Structure 1
């Protein structure tokens, strides 16, 4: 099974409900079940874009926002979501991006010039794939990256509009 980057938009109240449920459950199950409309799987796309932004001719601002998007906030106590009902146990437990962080990230994603970023990719598809850490990628890499970036931008924009947190994990 391939690992992919996962996101869920949730309210602070929902997180507290999951924390209380985990504390009350004999197997610490948090009752995690955000609606599918508030979840997003970005496959490996954001990791490839992040790798590219860290490479030669790096885009530090884009790299910074992508690191925040994919990494969450390690200081937040989210251990109650470290449960097989939430993720498969790869890496650390899910991490939280607070309402304030989501708002900041949403603005930063909106300010990221995706077209300019993708224009810097090598024109030869194999070279572009290697620059993103996807040697052997088949298909339209720019469309793949753009589609997932556009989705995460819209996802964070909606979370910010609704005053929600975002939980980040790899599954």
Structure 2
């Protein structure tokens, strides 16, 4: 049976946007060292004042509704698995051209970039057959789940044709 323990720490609203097909990419200063991972929800952004200003106006209600993940003690609800289909580089000045594929404002993305070229991770996201409450080790970007999560019966969030169409537009 296919299982995974590697996870990427990401704010819950972004995890839900990826898991509901509202977002297809992550934009980072760095490349990824993992070909796939569980999307592990965090709460960091929800703790900041005016956090909604970092998101495109059309997504603010969605972000507010999904600001915090479901939590029991030190375990968080894990629902999604992601495969990195491709990483492309874009000049930071051009990340606004990708705004249809992420929920943040272009200004927010540019504000955290500290390299001239952004690494754009194109992710194929899958919903787990059964969401699970999971606990992770400490880690800034990546971590390990304390117990493996089954990948049996995962279903892609977007159809093959939807995903290929988006990937072609991004490239």
Could you say whether these structures have the same fold, taking a TM-score greater than 0.5 normalized by the shorter chain as the test? no
TM-score by length of 1: 0.30
TM-score by length of 2: 0.30
Structure with the largest fraction of helix: 1
Structure with the largest fraction of strand: 2
